[in-house]
Amino acid sequence: MSMQRTPARNPLARVFAEHFAEGEVAEVERVAPSMLRIRIASPELDRLSWEPGRHVRVQINDPLSLYGIVRPKETLRTYTVWEFSAEDRAFDVLVHLYAPEGEGGIGLAWARAAEVGDRVVFWGPRGDFAVRPEAGHHLFVGEETATAAFWPMVRALGGGAEVRAVLESADGRDEPPFPEGHSVVRVHRGGAPAASSRTLVDALAGVDLPDAPGAAYVAGEARTCQMVRHHLVSVRGWPREDVRTVPFWTPGKRGLH
């Protein structure tokens, strides 16, 4: 699969000129039954900075093509950086294969077809989903799509941090990876939808949380994020400013993150 560099006249390239770069697929690995790790190498990473929790926007279709002009929302997809190596000039993204083979959107089609050597045009890393190292303890809540953000954020806190997590997946065979050495509650929704997930909220309701102030990081489907935030603020009494939510997706909408 080949990808062409966006011409300089592209308005996106002008707006994000300092973040615009290109590279190529260096590795493709399945890390779980429904999750792919794609490594993108780029010599331009020397000039780009990264903090845990930041994301890149990958160009799937040329915004200046007829397809891109007619369907501008079907040109870019956003992926959180899972690993970043300045030394190797490469970063990894995790892609959740949320639909059966042959189904899903352009991002899923790109990931499934990705091969070593494919050219990749991307913007970033960018974003502000970051940990608060000064917090007394840390809570991470989300489903499969939150995995890529949670992994580097927890590692950035270091081994001495008090970390809890509530993680949802479809079943026990497809649990998302999470750094070892922390308190993790894993729940499975089975055939239930990931959107507006009561499974995740009910699991969180059963978790004992410290009375001292902490920081919560909630990511994934938008309506589920709202439900989790409501539970933490209205039921558990957390200050709103201590709950950071980042909606990555919701059915029928694009470009939330």
Q: Percent of the chain at pLDDT above 70?
A: 90
Residue reference for tokens 């439900």: 227
Longest distance between any two alpha carbons in the chain, whole Å: 56
In this predicted model, what pLDDT tens digit does every residue of 5-21 receive, in sequence order?
Answer: 444 444 444 444 446 79
CA 153, CA 245: separation in Å to the nearest integer? Answer: 14
Phi, psi dihedrals of residue 18, rounded to the nearest 5°: -75, -15
The conformation of residue 234, written as its DSSP 8-state character, comes to I
In this predicted model, what pLDDT tens digit does every residue of 44-79 receive, in sequence order?
Answer: 888 888 899 999 999 998 888 888 888 888 889 999
DSSP of 17-85: TTTEEEEEEEEEEEEETTEEEEEEE-GGGGG----TT-EEEEESS-TTSHHHHH-GGGSEEEEEEEEEE
User: What domains lie within the chain, and their CATH numbers?
Assistant: 11-126 (2.40.30.10), 138-249 (3.40.50.80)
This prediction has a pTM of 0.85
